[in-house]
Structure 1
Amino acid sequence: MARISVAQRRSDFINAAVEVIAVHGIDGATTRRIAEQAQANLAMLHYCYDSKEDLFADVYEFVAGRYRDLVKSSDPHSTLVDTARQLLRGVMEWYLESPSFTAAALELINWARRQHGERGIAVYDQALETVRAALRGAASEHPLEAETIDQIAYVIATLADGFALNWLTYGDRAAATEQMETAVSVLESWLAARLGTTPVAQ
């Protein structure tokens, strides 16, 4: 049997921690539960990580990186309105398909904010800055004021966050799918009012 590398084991533990945090929360995410979820023994987890804090730090970085990748993969490199629409839709679709990640991400952001102050805010800041960068790129031919870019990023984040909380609370996929379309329509209408564009017909 091929030997599993430490890097692969760490990846397994990170993914397992996401699942455990989603179900049991931060306080209930014991190293034993995480090891069981990863189908590994506790000794291997302690071999890979000196402490649960070290593991959570990697989970935290994983969550931050996933948001960056999500935004980049959702950027159509098109018009500003298309870019904004696809960024919102991409995040909501990921939340819909990955409820464990969504729940764990919200838990981790709150945990890190309580435990580490500024570091807890950093993952949200990083995600917003990735959104701003995509919007600035889409608006490069007709640059917008930084304040306008900030407002668009804020609206996208607010709609996505509201969708995530509703989806996690009710777990109704059919309703969530309809709510995605509602959120996109709200964004389009807001952009039309803010930028003087025409909303896309549904």
Structure 2
Amino acid sequence: MARIPVAQRRRDFIDAAVEVIATHGIDGATTRRIAEQAQANVAMLHYCYDSKEDLFADVFEFVAGRFREVIEQSDPHTTVLETAQALLRGLMECYFESPSFGATTIELISWARRQHGDRGIAVYDQALQAGLEVMRRVGAEEGVSPDVLEEIPYVAGALSDGFAINFLTYGDREAARAQMDLTASVFETWLTARLEAARTKPARRKRAVKA
């Protein structure tokens, strides 16, 4: 039997940890359960990782990297509106395709805020920054206000997170598809109005400087 490279084993353990955390939570994500999910023994897990904390650090990086992939796939598009819609759709599809990813993300961020403070914030910060960079590239061509561009990743994140929690709660895939369309429609209505308001807002007059 061919020997499996350590890098591949690490990825197997990360994938396994996502499934185990989604099912049993952080406290229930024992090394034994993770090893069994990866179809490996505990000794192999400890060979790849010095501790469960080290494994969880890689799971965090996996989650952050998955968000970056989704966001970067939303670029380029012809307009700010189209790009923003693709961003929101991509985030919701990510949760829809893998409920375990959504459950693990929420569990990890909650756990990190309790145990490590800034680590939970970092996942959101990286996702928001990646989204903002995409919107800035597209927005520069349209001359869209920086204030509007900064709002887009936040609103897209808030809506997609709400969708994820609803989907995890009810697990109804047919209803979730309809809710994705509804959420996208709400987002489009908000952003269309926001862009229009920004275009028609009169320029602020500068005060005359007294001699």
The residue that corresponds to 2:11 in the other structure is 11
User: CA–CA distance in 1 between the matches of 2:93 and 2:177?
Assistant: 9
Q: Which moved more, 1:143-152 or 1:31-40?
A: 143-152
What CA RMSD, in Å, does the superposition of the two structures yield over aligned residues?
A: 1.2
Instruction: Tell whether the 8 Å contact from 1:14 to 1:55 is kept in structure 2 after alignment.
Output: yes
> In structure 1, what is the equivalent of residue 103 of structure 2?
103
| Separation (CA, whole Å) in 2 of partners of 1:75 and 1:27 | 38
> Which position in structure 1 is the counterpart of 2:74?
74
How far 1:115 moved relative to its partner? 1.3
Q: Deviations over 1:106-141 (max 9, x none)?
A: 111111121111121000010011111111111111
Judged with a 3 Å threshold, the aligned counterparts in structure 2 of structure 1 residues 146 and 114 are, in CA distance, closer, same or farther, namely farther
Q: Quick one: distance in 1 between partners of 2:103 and 2:160?
A: 13
1:141-180 superposed Cα distances (whole Å, 9 cap, x missing partner): 1333332112111111111010000000000111110000
Runs of 4+ in 1 over 4 A off after TM superposition: none
Amino acid at match of 1:47: Y
CA distance in 2, matches of 1:8, 1:86: 31
Q: Deviations over 1:33-89 (max 9, x none)?
A: 000000000000011111100100011111111110111113343210000000000
Q: Distance in 2 between matches of 1:188 and 1:70?
A: 19
What is the TM-score with the length of structure 2 in the denominator?
0.90
CA deviation map 1:11-39 (0-9, x unaligned):
10000000000000101000000000000
Report the counterpart of residue 191 of structure 2 in structure 1.
191
Is 1:31 aligned to 2:31, yes or no?
Answer: yes
Question: For the pair shown, which has the larger CA radius of gyration, 1 or 2?
Answer: 2
Report the TM-score when normalising by structure 1: 0.94
Query: 1:177 maps to what in 2?
Result: 177
Q: Show the counterpart of 2:201.
A: none
- Alpha-carbon distance in 1 for matches of 2:153, 2:75: 13
Distance 1:153 1:79 in 2: 15
- Is the Cα–Cα contact under 8 Å of residues 6 and 48 in structure 1 kept in the other structure? yes
Alignment: residue pair count: 197
Deviates more, 1:88-97 or 1:70-79: 70-79
Counterpart residue type for residue 106 of structure 1: I
Give the Cα–Cα distance (whole angstroms) in 2 for the partners of residues 8 and 176 of structure 1. Answer: 33
Structure 1 segments unaligned to the other structure (5+ residues): 198-202
**1:8 partner letter:** Q
Percent of counterpart pairs with the same letter?
Answer: 66
* Structure 2: segments with no counterpart, 5+ residues: 198-211
Structure 1 distance, partners of 2:34, 2:99, is 18
Separation of aligned partners in 2, 1:7 and 1:64: 19
For 1:163, the aligned partner's letter is: F
